[in-house]
Structure 1
Amino acid sequence: MKILHTSDWHVGKVLKGQSRYEEHKRVLGQVVEIARAEHPDLVIVAGDLYDTAAPTPDATRLVTRALTALRGSGAAVVAIGGNHDNGPALDALRPWAEAAGIVLRGSVRDNPAEHIVDGVTADGERWQVVALPFLSQRYAVRAVEMYELTAAEAHQTYADHLARLIGRLAEGFTEPDRVHLLTAHLTVVGAAVGGGEREAHTVLGYAVPATVFPGTAHYVALGHLHRSQKVHGPCPIRYSGSPLAVDFGEEENVPSVTLVEVTASTAARVREVPVATAVPLRTVRGTLAELAAVDPGDAWLRVIVREPPRAGLREEVQDLLPRALEVRVDPAMLPTPASRARAAQRAGRSPADLFGDYLASRGQADDGVRELFGELIEEVDA
């Protein structure tokens, strides 16, 4: 059978105030075109369909249309919720999804059978997917108890709970003559972050070892980390990565979807198909004179400007580079810790004096900023 694995769409993403809706339309349109050209038996969307737990109507419309179009390609479609998604809200869409022939699992349910999906390809290959949405630490213990496993001890880790759940859900993976698949939205120890993930859900207790996955799985389709990559473990494990660079930390990533060909008796063969319809992200550095010579093309820019901080600097940069979404002063141009250490005496001093000391400590001796502050003080006094 052939599987198209994708994840981390993050529809609804706003990058430094810039909507990426039109980019997402093109990107998901290309993903659908790939499905139509490759004729997969199954499409797996491994979480983070949305960028926010409260998506706009436009974002919801785009995601539901994309899922419908993928189903219309002739493939079965299984999609799970990620840490950015609102799991219960995705579950509320299940009646629509079921009517459309789509399997949608937003959150962990109290019935293990809810997370086990069986199917047969047009050529008669039997398959089974364990679909495990993102599970927060707070609900991990409760989920273990729902499945009547051994009560979790207080000292046990998130990884312990995930291993128990996956072991329970994958009990049928010993059955021969069937392709056993698992999809989840989580962080595996040793995998490389893409650069735009939500940090609290990728570090500390949220990272699990690859050994939580059963060696009898033919393929594990992961979401959460935005860089496409293989993970070493007891079975074939892979992140598909995001089909577009979500933030500037991901500008070196190659957006793609993953195609997998596998049978019950042969190893998974994997290849990546690039998705190149999103606007590229670039970071550029230099003085104003150097930035004036930059040709950004159609990229969105993050600019690291090598000039001392001053009022109006951002506007000057954006006049030179209108596609600059983020402007930062190079840290080397900021005041030294010694200069910041000068503290002003507060007693008996006016707000204007104190603000003047603050500007001096930040290396911004700018009379224009002082005058603006003075106008604000006058408005407050009035």
Structure 2
Amino acid sequence: MLAARTGAAGSQISEENTKLRRQSGFSVAGKDKSPKKASENAKDSSLSPSGESQLRARQLALLREVEMNWYLKLCDLSSEHTTACTTGMPHRNLGKSGLRVSCLGLGTWVTFGGQISDEVAERLMTIAYESGVNLFDTAEVYAAGKAEVILGSIIKKKGWRRSSLVITTKLYWGGKAETERGLSRKHIIEEIVRAMTHVINQGMAMYWGTSRWSAMEIMEAYSVARQFNMIPPVCEQAEYHLFQREKVEVQLPELYHKIGVGAMTWSPLACGIISGKYGNGVPESSRASLKCYQWLKERIVSEEGRKQQNKLKDLSPIAERLGCTLPQLAVAWCLRNEGVSSVLLGSSTPEQLIENLGAIQVLPKMTSHVVNEIDNILRNKPYSKKDYRS
């Protein structure tokens, strides 16, 4: 990528690069003829294998830093243009695809084109982007397609580099006829894999994944892709929060190790149940108060919903001890799972989004002791059934 550097700018950057390497005392080729360096190299040669590994790691880190400085100079940029340096937002691989995504993403379900205005949507995206979020999720069905339009309009208005963003969308509803919707017998998985491979080959997408598929369906899609030399899915979008754990903690890890499928999770606050705002009923401005979310209201006022609210009250002292809010604790709890590539946040106000993004600071506090405390309160930790024949 950087091989085509010519002209005065290239020679100037090359001189700066050499200068930086000399200042650092590190030679890429590993050869330094000075007596001082020779003695240091002789001393390093007597290091233990672990010491040599640590030295090599430091050298590689220094080399990456030098190359990054060189690249920023080449593009006439400063370190302020790298979101990782300014925001501290961790990035993870999306499964084994090599695609790097921020560990927190912004979703647009219910909010964009529905619950909030376009101005608030723009404010939310700006806060997320400036906080280091590069993953934005939407879908064809969200607000009957309006969410996708709003998302694209904001990106165009802001002038953000498209190559710096990862946009995910979903297809589902289709038409009214049986042959235009659903995963029926007329929509076999082979056709889906073939269609998504065509989409990628045409340059309309770079990767494809699944949402709310079973482990068996994902495995079948992978097998079809391998059988017919097509492109397999790289991730599964799954619901994951304190009260929904089975799929992400038991089924998806096996798929990751076998076929490299990553996990992108949604609803870390269980549609707002974990936020605490439903502790005393259903507020008028909440999602559960909307007509199309009567199912959520029934879920909250049910006996199981009351039990969940009692468990949340028991979790509050843990959040207070860690110096965070209950939503921040819930999001950090999702992030503590290394099998989760990214957690999608849904917020209707800038204050909610800023609060949820603060879970990044809580993540280092999620020790095994804290996680065990939470498990003892929830009492819903799933256990995989081991096959002793294998």
Scaled by the length of structure 1, the TM-score of the pair is: 0.30
Q: Which has the higher contact order (CA 8 A, sep 6+)?
A: 2
- Which protein is richer in helix relative to its size? 2
